[in-house]
Amino acid sequence: MKNTTPSGVGLFRKGGVTDTRKVQVTGKSTFIVTLPKKWVTSSRLTAGTQVGFSYQDDGSVLLVPPDVGEEHLVRKISADRNIEALERDITALYVLGNCHIIEVHGTEITAGTRDMIKNLCKRLIGFEIVESSGSRILIQNLLNTEDFTIEKAAKRMFSLVFLMFDDLARVLEENDTLLCRELASRSIEIDRTYFLVSRMYIGKMNVKNVSVKDDLNLTQAFYYRLATEDIDRIGDHITKIVSHFENGNITPEFSSQMAELCQTLRDMFRDAFESFKLADSELANNIIYRGMELESVIGAFREGADMVTISRTELMLDSCCSIRDHISKIARLSIELSHL
């Protein structure tokens, strides 16, 4: 067994090896292992105390005292400071997932701070404002991730971005301004799901909150967390391309070339995610080579760009290069996964 204490793991390790105990048998089929007295005392265990068992990927068992991993129900944050710092703190508490309620308090909470918190809660799945007054705002976590897994969230992010690629091609080919606004709203949904993945990954490291419906081990979950970050960035760059197209005087010829390039990136993105799910190193290497070949294609687009709109076209092509790089990163993660 691995020993865990509230004051830190490894208190009773000697030379990197956990203390050992002999397995004893009582009756015909009951196996018993005694616990170290120091560990029992420091964990404040008494007769009748229930402890938890968590089965690890390597076949070992983690023994968890009842007080380990207890959630902090309420966290208080001062609103009397920089609004950007406050936003970062609330986001961090969401990702860490170690509280049920966040109390933002101050002498007088400004309208700007209120708007920030309101908009931020729209981006954080499960966070809702349940009370608001002149000096206090209560944010409650209403999220239940029991039926939602990191793997499902990653697939949802992939689907959203894949659809964004299709709609981006329509925007470039048909100059559909209404669709431009819809793409921006989808980017927000991708951000929301990415924050949720980060939160679930942190929660997975808490042995008391492991979901029986999540088939990923901790290492696989780590790679999913990295891959979803790249997926999130790809969605951001699609939004940037749409914004530059909408606000610039882009020629029809360049728009057509961009649509073709984005469809190529879409296909690479689809194959990269497939290689990631299957841990297919051969497919992943093929994607990386295809990404290298795009360098000359993008270079030709730069040379043929209309000088009147050079700044906009450069920015659009820069985003295409970034999308290609993030796709290649997903492929490299696939190769690493194939060796687990």
Burial class of residue 67 in the structure, from the number of CB atoms within 10 Å of its CB (0-12 exposed, 13-18 middle, 19+ buried): exposed
Torsions phi, psi for 104 (to 5 deg): -95, 120
Q: Is the pLDDT of residue 18 over 90?
A: no
Q: Is the pLDDT of residue 242 over 80?
A: yes
pLDDT of residue 181: 77
For domain 150-338, the question of CATH label 3.30.950.10 is answered with no
Distance (Å, rounded) from C-alpha 109 to C-alpha 141? 21
Contact yes or no for 211/144 (Cβ under 8 A): no
pLDDT of residue 119: 92
Residues 99-145 have pLDDT tens digits of: 889 999 998 899 999 999 999 998 899 899 999 988 999 999 887 76
Q: Is the pLDDT of residue 277 over 50?
A: yes
Q: Is the pLDDT of residue 270 over 60?
A: yes
Q: Is the pLDDT of residue 290 over 50?
A: yes
Instruction: pLDDT band for 175, please (50, 70, 90 cuts).
Output: confident
Contact yes or no for 321/313 (Cβ under 8 A): no
C-alpha closest to that of 66 among 124, 5, 22: 5
Residues 181-236 have pLDDT tens digits of: 788 778 889 999 999 999 999 888 775 555 556 788 889 999 999 999 999 999 99
Distance (Å, rounded) from C-alpha 87 to C-alpha 83? 6
pLDDT of residue 211: 57
Q: Give the pLDDT mean for 308-337.
A: 90
Distance (Å, rounded) from C-alpha 16 to C-alpha 215? 30
Task: Give the fold, CATH level 3, of 72-141.
Answer: Translation Initiation Factor IF3 (3.30.110)
pLDDT of residue 112: 93
Residues 55-76 have pLDDT tens digits of: 555 666 667 666 654 455 789 9
Q: What's the mean per-residue pLDDT of the chain?
A: 83
Q: Is the pLDDT of residue 1 over 90?
A: no
Q: Can you name the residues that pair with 30 across neighbouring β-strands?
A: 26
196 token code pair? 């949720």
> Would you list the domain boundaries of the chain?
1-68, 72-141, 150-338
127 token code pair? 């966070």
Q: Is the pLDDT of residue 306 over 60?
A: no
pLDDT of residue 6: 39
Distance (Å, rounded) from C-alpha 260 to C-alpha 245? 15
Residues 6+ apart with CB under 8 A from 283: 271, 274, 275, 331, 334
